[in-house]
Structure 1
Amino acid sequence: MIGSIVWVGIAHMLTSALTSAARETRRYAQAEREAAAWQAAQDAHLFEGRMRLAHTNRLAAPMLRRIADRGGALTAAQQAECRMLEAAIRDEIRGRMLLTDAVRFEVQRARARGMTVTLLDEGGIDDLDEATRNRVLSRLADAVAGSSADRIIVRTAAEASPVAVTVVGLRESVGAAADTDEAEVELWLEIPREF
């Protein structure tokens, strides 16, 4: 009788120990999966950063060489070209997924017409498939091309929103003092995720 009670006690302790070990194993496996996912995200971020840096280098290196060769003395046209290049580099950094060849072309044309264009990608269209994103960005390129605003601001919407991209075009108010921030809305466009 005493032997049976001892064996039941030992069996109960072994069962508890195995249950605890299984729980710890699941916890460590989950932690390992999270660590692997974090490492993959960091590697992807690093790779994307290197790609963007290489692209920026390809864009900026010729102009930087010209500036160095001339000792910083640039003509007005060269200064304007530098400003356009700096804006294009900023687009590559802040505009990320908003850029296609058509959008780049229309944004550059708008800037050449004297507009200020700001592209802000906050990750709102990262989840769109390529065909949908191309349709959205095609509408964006058309909107920029058709606008006569002085300033255009393009921003991705939140992922949960039915809107993918919001485009706002502002025109300086006629007769407003030069130091005021008053502007009229010339363009307000919300490009939906699905259409």
Structure 2
Amino acid sequence: MNGQDIRDLLSMKSTAAYAVAVFFVLACAVCATATLDGVSSVWPEYAAVLVFTGAVAVLLGAAGDPLSVRATALLTVSGPVAAAFVFAVLPVPLTGSLQTWPLGMSVVIYTFMCVRGRTLAAWLGLALTMSVAIGWAVVTGQGFLYGLSFSAINIAPLLMATFFAFTIRPLAAAIFELRRQSTVRIASQAAAAAVLEERDARLASLDALARPLLQRIADGPDPTDEEILACRLLEAELRDTLRARGLVKPDLILAARSARARGVEVMMLDDRTPDALDDDARDRIVAAASSALDAAEAGAVTVRLLPPGRTVAATILLDDLGDGTQRVEYDEAGHIRR
């Protein structure tokens, strides 16, 4: 489940999950405190509690699915390390069955390791934890079978957790895939809606601008020179909206219209879309282009946004038919390049 985290599905990031983790740590502390009768030293019992506290913190906090190698290694050794602390100070014989509490607590960690995709490591951890218990029984003269008898009962919960993991993880993969498909579908619908909205806006604008002139041409008589000029200016503005979408700003549109009305040839090109410039940089370039158009009395002015990845973000080419051609370049910040 690349890019997914089964903790989301199991609510392992919720307040309830952290509350259960705190309860687990308190249960470990209670077990350690209640089983101090006959132990040769007290501190190893609470050292085991700290080991399990760290393990549950790693289990809840480690991201990714399956668990990372580092997190897996730490969780795997938590059981045998905690068991080693406790069994090293236990009396012989035991004064109570609860004194082997690290065996049961370690199974809780290994159960969630199975769910987090590390089933083999969980079984390895249980085997090592059982080995500590069996080794203690053998060294203290109580026999291999005695150690096996009270440690083997923890195989059953882990076996159930293994079957549960084999069931839930494929379902989790299917749920994550459905979630991904739903996200893609919603994004596609939003994009389609945006396209339709843009189309409707352009149609409304075109209708408002072009319909009166078209209706005038259709109704006759022949258009006047002023109306022909208005048609040419409108055609140029519509062309700008198609060829220079990144430059279409009210101030620049007005400046271009006035310059064209004075006989200046104006061309605007946007070769950068869809990688738009920063708003501040574009505003600077638009302001500079508007000023250049306002100052032009004849000739041609070409304003162009260049493709991304170049040292020059935009150019303004001025040809006044008298003093020659002048080219002004702008960087990504919208400032003139010297």
Query: What's the TM-score bracket when you normalise by the shorter of the two chains?
Result: 0.7 to 0.9
Matched, 1:156 2:300: no
1:112 has 2:112 as partner: no
Q: Which residue of 2 aligns with 1:60?
A: 210
Confirm whether residue 137 of structure 1 aligns to residue 309 of structure 2: no
Q: Which letter does structure 2 place at the counterpart of 1:137?
A: V
Q: Which has the larger radius of gyration?
A: 2
Query: 1:42 matched to which residue of 2?
Result: 192
Identity of aligned residues (%): 28
- Post-superposition offset of 1:170: 4.8
Are the aligned partners of 1:110 and 1:117 in contact in 2 as well (CA < 8 Å)? yes
1:30 corresponds in structure 2 to: 180
Q: Which structure carries more helix by proportion?
A: 2
CA drift of 1:141 comes to 0.9
Unaligned runs of 5+ in 1: 175-183
C-alpha contact (below 8 Å) 2:296/2:320 kept by paired residues: no
- Normalising by structure 1, report the TM-score: 0.73
Query: 1:1-195 residue pairs with structure 2 within 5 A?
Result: 8=159, 11-70=161-220, 73-121=222-270, 122-123=272-273, 126=276, 128-129=278-279, 131-147=280-296, 150-161=299-310, 163-170=312-319, 186-194=325-333, 195=335
Determine if contact 2:264/2:296 at 8 Å carries over to the other structure. Answer: no
Structure 2, unpaired ranges of 5+: 1-151
CA contact (8 A) 1:91 1:119 kept: yes
- 2:303–2:315 Cα contact (<8 Å) kept: yes
Task: String of CA shifts for 1:14-62, please: whole Å, max 9, x gaps.
Answer: 3123212212222221222222122212211211221121111111111
Alpha-carbon contact 1:151-1:169 (below 8 Å) kept: yes
Native 8 Å contact 1:136 1:192 kept in 2: no
Q: How has the CA–CA distance of structure 1 residues 126 and 77 changed in structure 2, closer, same or farther, with 3 Å as cutoff?
A: same
CA–CA distance in structure 1, aligned partners of residues 171 and 206 of structure 2: 52
Question: Does structure 1 conserve the Cα–Cα contact (< 8 Å) formed by 2:255 and 2:294?
Answer: yes
Q: Name the aligned partner's letter for residue 126 of structure 1.
A: A
User: How far does residue 191 in structure 1 lie from its aligned partner after superposition?
Assistant: 2.6
**Structure 1 residue 140 displacement after superposition:** 1.7
Residue type of the alignment partner of 2:293: V
Structure 1 contact 168–185 (Cα < 8 Å) conserved: no
Question: Relative to structure 1, is the Cα distance of residues 56 and 164 closer, same or farther in structure 2, using a 3 angstrom cutoff?
Answer: farther
Q: Aligned with 2:303: secondary structure?
A: strand
SS in 2 for 1:187: strand
User: Aligned pair in 2 of structure 1 residues 124, 142: CA closer, same or farther (>3 Å)?
Assistant: farther
Q: Does the 8 Å contact 1:111/1:117 carry over to 2?
A: yes
